[in-house]
Amino acid sequence: MDLLGFFALNLAFVCALYAVGAGTAAILTRNPFLVKSARHAGLAVCILITLGTASLVYLFLTDNFSMAYVVGHSNRELPTFYKFAALWSGQEGSLLFWSWLLSVYVFSVLFTYRGRHPELMPYVGVVLAGVQLFFLILNNFVASPFQVLGAAGPDGAIELFVPADGKGLNPLLQYPEMVIHPPMLYSGYTGFTIPFAFALAALLGRYPGEKWIHLTRRWTMIAWCFQSAGILLGAHWAYAVLGWGGYWAWDPVENASLMPWLTGTAFLHSVMMQEKRGMLKVWNVWLVFATFLLCILGTFLTRSGVVSSVHAFAQSSIGPWFVGFIAAVLAVCLWAFLKNRDYLRSDNQLDALVSRESSFLFNNLILLVACVAVLSGTLFPVLSEAVSGSKISVGPPFFNKVNIPIGLFLLFLTGVGPLLAWRRTSFESVKRNFGGSLLLGLLAGAVAFLLGFRDFFSLVCLSLSVFVALTIASEFLRGALVIRGRTGVNLLSAVGRLTMRNTRRYGGYVVHFGMVLVFIGLSGAAFNRDKQMEMAPGSRIEIGPYTLVCQTFTTRPAQNYTAERATIEVLRGSRQVMMLYPERRFYPANEQAGTMVSIFSTLREDLYVVYAGRSPESDQPVIHAYLNPLVKWIWLGGVIVVLGTGLALLPDRQMGLAARARAQKVLPVAAAKPVSASAGSYGQERRERNPTL
């Protein structure tokens, strides 16, 4: 099996090389046979990498301890579920997994557009195969997962040896979320390769128009959705497993995943400027390039040890390869841009400061500023060493100081932007669209202030959240009322119809609403509390409205570990609300301990209890309890963001035939997206232009 996988990867490398070569030749000669042949090579790469990955999974499942990678990341007692996840728990396997996910995307793209867009697809194929080639070089020649274990025998010759058992999977990774978080995040990282390939292909091929944007919109959203889910699952994993009471520490690896998300988010918004107004063409192309480069940079930061991080992989020789690849990609992008930049002339100019365009521009600017801030903060040790010779790191205060105001401004734009009209917006329509929501938002902030909440940013966040949520709700309501007035259906199904008519727009609103919930959750962090205490059975901790009563400490063996478990009764007043069982687990295979946090989560707050260990003096168990308000809103918001993206991915459902015919006759502009709407709202638009509706 190891040989099969090994040769499959070798062959995949050859095929990718061929796809680049034949693809380039196909572009130069316009030979249809070569085009087809290069595409088939691209498809074959996917099948071969799948074979290689499957054989590595097989080696894990069959406990084949002749393989160095299997020994390093698995053991016999490891549950099957985690043997599967062990695939991506180390450097070599995760790079293979990366290649595999990318190849699945590439396969889908090549297969979906086979025989279509003949001016564009050969270029796309070459770019994609080029990226694959890089990762296949790593898989084959730099970090091959198919290495066997050997030791120098008495005569100096290397002899193979097979240990009786493996060293086990890192206990921190033995958690259900660790099985889904990396695939999600990697799917995000790799997914951004697709819009990148199309953007570069369109530029290289001097392919006119916005077609590459239309073609990649769904791919970008899929990648973005995976990236969002991956980041939030990672945060949740850190929260539920690492046991330090928080979910985000501005660790370089976290930052690495956030940066392409920021530029990707900017891209998803700024493409609308290009689609609707023919502006920002250069900007869009570079946003995609930057997003892809940040994905590669993220992979590099995680693996090279260039900045120290809690969960980075070992320092390894892989760094220079990534630096070389980033430099090469940047060089190609720059060359293509300089050569063909005439094709990216803007069709329009900015008309007014208060308009949809400018809100998009500010949104992009601010997302990019956030990204630059995170990037410079992450790389500060490297930069400062290069400039001043001393390696300096900036702590969480730096990231928080910069990003909290940026985040709040972004939240504000989330509410304002979608309701501003294209080109210019009158003060009257601003007042009509935002007046009520803004007032209620401020009122909510004032009420919170009177109730005793005094954290400035949290109050601003609350006001803005209420404001944005209300603007979104009123958008749905306004459109739905029009539909109800016209068709007589009840309000709820009117909302449904409205949404299905323009899934992109209303799905987008749902995503915005999810982000509002995430922000509300984040703002709770200002009010976190915690207490740590040695606890004998019977002793109590009071935290917030809860009283924790320690009942027993027991030891319980499990398949792959032994757990020490505390049984803690949670009282609210004198009423029992919950039993919590925080654990410390000991994993014999790698002689490591791990914590299993126990959380009682409500919408109001999380009671988060950690069995921190035993006190060195008294040998009493130490319990650390945290009270973290509103955390649940973050995960809830994440779910809504994913659902909203899914909604936006659905095709629009056409209106009923009669209605459509009428719309086409009377409302040629409103049936398409309104460009010069005063309010920008669908329902508003229809009412204003056709009072009979």
Partner 1 sequence: MQKRVKFGVGVGIILATVSALAVVGYREQPTYYHTIRELPNLKPSDARQRMRVAGNVEQGSIVRLPGRVDFVLQGEGQRLSISYVGKDPLPDTFVDGSQALVEGRWMRDGRFVAEKVQAKCASKYEAAPGQQKTGDGYPADPNKKG
Rounded Cα distance, 296 and 290, in Å? 10
* 260 and 365 Cβ atoms separated by less than 8 Å: no
Binding mask 573-612 toward partner 1 (x if CB under 8 A, else -) reads -----------------xxxxxx--------------x-x
In the complex with partner 1, which residue's Cβ is closer, 111 or 161? 161
Q: Which residues pair with 548 in a beta bridge?
A: 541, 570
Of 370-409, which residues contact partner 1 (CB under 8 A)?
Answer: 373, 376, 381, 390-402, 405-406, 409
Burial-class residue 7 by CB neighbours within 10 Å (0-12, 13-18, 19+).
middle
Tell me the window of 4-12, 79-87, 153-161, 487-495 that interacts with partner 1 (CB under 8 A). Answer: 153-161
Which residue in the block uniquely carries the two structure tokens 């999974």? Answer: 57
Under the binding rule (CB under 8 A), the answer on residue 335 touching partner 1 is: no
In the complex with partner 1, which residue's Cβ is closer, 64 or 257? 64
CB atoms within 10 A of CB 688: 15
Describe the strand order of the beta sheet including 598-601 as a list of residue ranges. 529-534, 621-629, 605-614, 598-601
Q: In angstroms, what is the minimal distance from the CB of 518 to partner 1?
A: 21
Alpha-carbon distance values, 252 to 246, 377, 399, 528, 587 (Å): 16, 9, 11, 24, 27
- Provide the 3-class DSSP secondary structure of residue 244: coil
Q: Which of 113, 175, 362, 457 contacts partner 1 by CB under 8 A?
A: 362
Under the binding rule (CB under 8 A), the answer on residue 451 touching partner 1 is: no
CB atoms within 10 A of CB 431: 11
Non-local CB neighbours of 683 within 8 Å, separated by 6+ positions: 478, 479, 480, 481, 482, 483, 498
- Cα angle: 635, vertex 639, 641; to 5 degrees: 110
Of 624-663, which residues contact partner 1 (CB under 8 A)?
Answer: 624
Which residue in the block uniquely carries the two structure tokens 């749902």? Answer: 510
Nearest to 254 by CA among 212, 205, 310, 305: 310
Report the 3 state secondary structure along 578-641. EEECCEEEEECCCCEEEEECEEEECCCEEEEEEEEEECCCCCCEEEEEEEEECHHHHHHHHHHH
In the complex with partner 1, which residue's Cβ is closer, 452 or 616? 616
Q: In angstroms, what is the minimal distance from the CB of 82 to partner 1?
A: 15
Q: Which residues pair with 627 in a beta bridge?
A: 529, 607
Q: In angstroms, what is the minimal distance from the CB of 247 to partner 1?
A: 15
Q: In angstroms, what is the minimal distance from the CB of 121 to partner 1?
A: 38
Of 238-257, which residues contact partner 1 (CB under 8 A)?
Answer: 244
Q: In angstroms, what is the minimal distance from the CB of 392 to partner 1?
A: 5
Under the binding rule (CB under 8 A), the answer on residue 366 touching partner 1 is: yes
In the complex with partner 1, which residue's Cβ is closer, 392 or 650? 392
Binding mask 531-570 toward partner 1 (x if CB under 8 A, else -) reads -x--------------------------------------
Of 26-85, which residues contact partner 1 (CB under 8 A)?
Answer: 66, 68, 71-72
Under the binding rule (CB under 8 A), the answer on residue 622 touching partner 1 is: yes
In the complex with partner 1, which residue's Cβ is closer, 532 or 576? 532
Under the binding rule (CB under 8 A), the answer on residue 348 touching partner 1 is: no
Of 90-129, which residues contact partner 1 (CB under 8 A)?
Answer: 90-91
Non-local CB neighbours of 317 within 8 Å, separated by 6+ positions: 142
Q: In angstroms, what is the minimal distance from the CB of 316 to partner 1?
A: 6
Q: In angstroms, what is the minimal distance from the CB of 299 to partner 1?
A: 16
DSSP state, residue 148: B
* 501 and 653 Cβ atoms separated by less than 8 Å: yes
Under the binding rule (CB under 8 A), the answer on residue 351 touching partner 1 is: yes
Non-local CB neighbours of 443 within 8 Å, separated by 6+ positions: none
Q: In angstroms, what is the minimal distance from the CB of 71 to partner 1?
A: 7
Q: In angstroms, what is the minimal distance from the CB of 317 to partner 1?
A: 5
Q: Which of 36, 167, 432, 689 contacts partner 1 by CB under 8 A?
A: 167
Q: In angstroms, what is the minimal distance from the CB of 406 to partner 1?
A: 7
Q: In angstroms, what is the minimal distance from the CB of 363 to partner 1?
A: 11
In the complex with partner 1, which residue's Cβ is closer, 18 or 300? 300
CB atoms within 10 A of CB 30: 11
Of 267-326, which residues contact partner 1 (CB under 8 A)?
Answer: 308, 310, 313-317
Under the binding rule (CB under 8 A), the answer on residue 619 touching partner 1 is: no
Of 172-201, which residues contact partner 1 (CB under 8 A)?
Answer: none
The b-or-e profile of 154-190 (16+ CB within 10 A means b, else e) is eeeeeeeeeeeebbbbbbbbbbebbbebbbbbbbbbb
Task: Count interface residues toward partner 1 (CB under 8 A).
Answer: 74
* 437 and 415 Cβ atoms separated by less than 8 Å: yes
Q: In angstroms, what is the minimal distance from the CB of 395 to partner 1?
A: 4
